[in-house]
Amino acid sequence: MRRKVFYVGLVILVIGLVLVISGTALLSGKLVTGDSFQQVRSDEYGTHNLQFNGTTFLLVTNSSANISLIRTSDVAAAGSGNISDYAINSTISISTDRAYEVGAGNYTLVFFGNSAPHVNYEYILESQEYLASIEVVGIVLGIIGFIIMIIGAFMKEKPKEDDIMKQFENL
């Protein structure tokens, strides 16, 4: 039984690894990443035009409170004093990471400060998010498989009937 549990865990782990590798390979051509900001004004920096053809999931990492996502057409009108009028609210905000779900259009990440920020951003069309889900499922299966393997490796085997009978005979 112990061996069977171990092998089941190993099979689940291998399936998880295959899903992670295939999800990563499929996602590599679809995920767009960037980190460059150009100076727009003396204290304002912005990304190049982020053009989305459909609903898109945008992730901004290592961001600060001074970074906002706005429509590209609003860059000229937006300033540090009125950026909140043009800023698009993030869907999710955790620590220094923000996630946005935006529709088709042209967008720019804007930063107000003395120098260009060290921020990374990446995006993928919502219609292709399932590729990232393949990776996540693979990671979860890999973890479950590893745990099952550990359980199988340290499980105590049940004594066989013959061994139990011999114990009673020795009494």
Q: Is residue 147 part of a domain?
A: no
Both tokens assigned to 5: 């549990």
Owning domain of residue 41: 36-118
Q: Is residue 164 part of a domain?
A: no
What average pLDDT does the segment 41-68 reach? 81
Domain count, the chain: 1
Q: Assess whether pLDDT exceeds 70 at residue 164.
A: no
Q: Is residue 142 part of a domain?
A: no
In angstroms, how far is CA 74 from the centroid of its own chain?
29
Q: Is residue 48 part of a domain?
A: yes
For 106-120, how does the pLDDT look when each residue is reduced to its tens digit (9 = 90+)?
A: 999 898 888 888 888
CA distances from 133 to 24, 26, 53, 75, 148 (A): 10, 11, 21, 34, 22
Average pLDDT, the chain: 82
What average pLDDT does the segment 38-62 reach? 84
Q: Is residue 150 part of a domain?
A: no
Q: Is residue 91 part of a domain?
A: yes
Query: Rounded distance, CA 16 to CA 167, Å?
Result: 44
**pTM, 2 dp:** 0.58
For 84-100, how does the pLDDT look when each residue is reduced to its tens digit (9 = 90+)?
A: 899 888 888 887 788 88
Q: Is residue 133 part of a domain?
A: no
